[in-house]
Amino acid sequence: MAASGMLQRRDMLKLLTAGATAQAMAAHNALAAAPGQKLNVLMLCVDDMRPQLGCYGDPYAKTPNMDKLAARGVLFSRCYCQQALCSPSRTALFTGLRPESSGILSIGPHFRDTLPDIVTLPQHFKNHGYVARGIGKIYHNGLDDPKSWSAPHENTKVSGYTAKGQARLKERLAEAKAKGIDIKDKNKAPYGPAYEDPDCADNELLDGANAERAIEILREIKDKPFFLAVGFSKPHIPYVAPKKYWDLYDPAQFKFPDNQYPPKGAPAWAVQGLGELRRYDGPPQEDPLPEEWKRKLLHGYLACISYIDALIGKILAELDALGLRDKTIVILWGDNGYQMGEHGTWSSKHTNYETSVRVPLIVSVPGMKTAGRTSHALVEFQDLYPSLADLCGLSIPQHVEGTSFKPLLENPDRPWKKAAFSVYPRGGYLGRTIRTDRWRLVEWRKQKGGDPVVYELYDHQTDPQENVNLADDPKYAATVKELAAQLAAGWKAARPD
């Protein structure tokens, strides 16, 4: 593993084994809980939702409830996940460890296999007298963490497909099995329909049912300090949402990215193809993807975002009805970015590019004087653990590899950290990337180590879509060298002064 300023796994194990104590208590101020009062935390976790929301300036997305939340909080325009894949991204957020430190750079294994004593974010709140509850997709499906919760994590048994969609999935699995395909292999088994637009109630699909249960949980725990995480499975493909949300959009009006091609000069392995999309029932196998399917995919993606927006609105309305908004921090995030045509990729992430690692983040804190403001500071998912602990007056565990952004909630325009870091393994290489105010550098090495194989350099001042790799241009040799040194120095060296 390349030196990066991050804790190495062996150091982390030593730290945990030694039972390291927490840092000093964060000082109280206008955004901290008053003496004797504990602020609640309501965390809204959305799968594969990039910053394609009305409050982020998207011309199509109809997201009135998330827009209202942004008006009551601070919107972060440049927040980055640490890896553009569900499990590593969520593991990093909830453990406080970056992927290279935890060793979790794929869907599995479970982080407890190598870090059995790590204290997760909800577990930290539980240890400080909070009721910690979770429903829906919080950790990756099938990789829940019982130690994190005061009561078992919940997920209703309602399907994300309609009965028709479930039947089609069974047919496809049977067809694959008859052809000798190992359908137990998650990398080979076919998926169900790519989309459905049923005329049904919200709660007839998984996310709607989970939202109803989340409201019930709120009523159960309203009289105790709580940390409640509610996870939504959409807008991750397959795009299944009630018809009324599809009817919000006219796909004939959609315009698509003008960079539906790989970045010029990028290594072949750096770009994600359409293999994942084509495992779903419907999308054709030929290249390029037909125009009608591009419109269908974006239509479904936006319909699912509006569906989740409506469910979030119901939960926030209940929070208000219970009189809890004035003592509850509300935080909304999407676990990774998403590509809808950019660089030729549809309905996927799995890269180190801006479209894959930039994520939505909105934080609303009772009593904040900066409600409705936007912060353009560089922040990371690693900062959520220390920020929430800081805001609630809790200690910040020493293992946490992030920085509390509470000062940004008080002054969104203040100077902040110098860079954000992400990582992604592809094609036998490990790509590590640094995003500064102007630049993105990606450094590729063989996963087993060794010297850098190739660099990618993108100038966001002149090329915000990251279409041209400048790394091999002699004019930028000094810039590559400087950024590579920043990347090697790691997150600690990038912290705000």
What mean pLDDT do residues 53-80 have? 98
Determine the pLDDT at residue 20: 34
Which residue in the list 45, 124, 140, 343 is annotated as catalytic?
140
User: pLDDT (tens digit, 9 = 90+) per residue, 122-170?
Assistant: 999 999 999 999 999 999 998 999 999 999 999 999 999 999 999 999 9
Range of the domain at 322: 39-418
Distances (CA, A) of 281 to 67, 99, 158, 199, 276: 33, 33, 21, 20, 11
Domain-embedded: residue 461: no
How far apart (Å, rounded) are the C-alpha atoms in residues 315 and 211?
7
pLDDT score at 5? 35
Note whether residue 492 is domain-resident. no
Q: Is residue 161 part of a domain?
A: yes
pLDDT in tens, 359-398: 999 999 999 999 999 999 999 999 999 999 999 999 999 9
Residue 428 φ/ψ region, left for φ over 0, alpha for ψ in the -120 to 50 degree band, beta for the rest: left
Residue 224 lies in a domain: yes
Residue 494 lies in a domain: no
Which pLDDT tens digit goes with each residue over 288-329? 999 999 999 999 999 999 999 999 999 999 999 999 999 999
Among residues 55, 79, 86, 304, which one is catalytic? 86
CATH of the domain at 369: 3.40.720.10
Q: Tell me whether the omega of the peptide bond preceding residue 464 falls within 30 degrees of 0, making it cis.
A: no
Q: Is residue 496 part of a domain?
A: no
Q: Which residue, chain included where needed, has tokens 């409705």? A: 372
Q: Annotated catalytic, 86?
A: yes
Is 27 part of a structural domain of the chain?
no
Confidence of residue 10 (pLDDT cuts 50, 70, 90): very low
Mean pLDDT of all residues in 220-245: 98
* pLDDT tens track for 326-341: 999 999 999 999 999 9
Q: What type of residue is 394?
A: L
Query: Which of 30-39, 147-156, 167-176 shows the lowest per-residue confidence on average (mean pLDDT)?
Result: 30-39
At 48, the amino acid letter reads D
Residue 15 pLDDT > 60, yes or no? no
Number of domains within the chain? 1
399 pLDDT band, cuts 50/70/90, is very high
In this prediction, residue 30 has a pLDDT band, given cuts at 50, 70 and 90, of low
What torsion do the CA atoms of 187, 337, 440, 376 make, to the nearest 10 degrees?
-160
Name which of 351, 176, 360, 389 is nearest 271 in CA terms.
Answer: 351
Structural domain includes residue 428: no
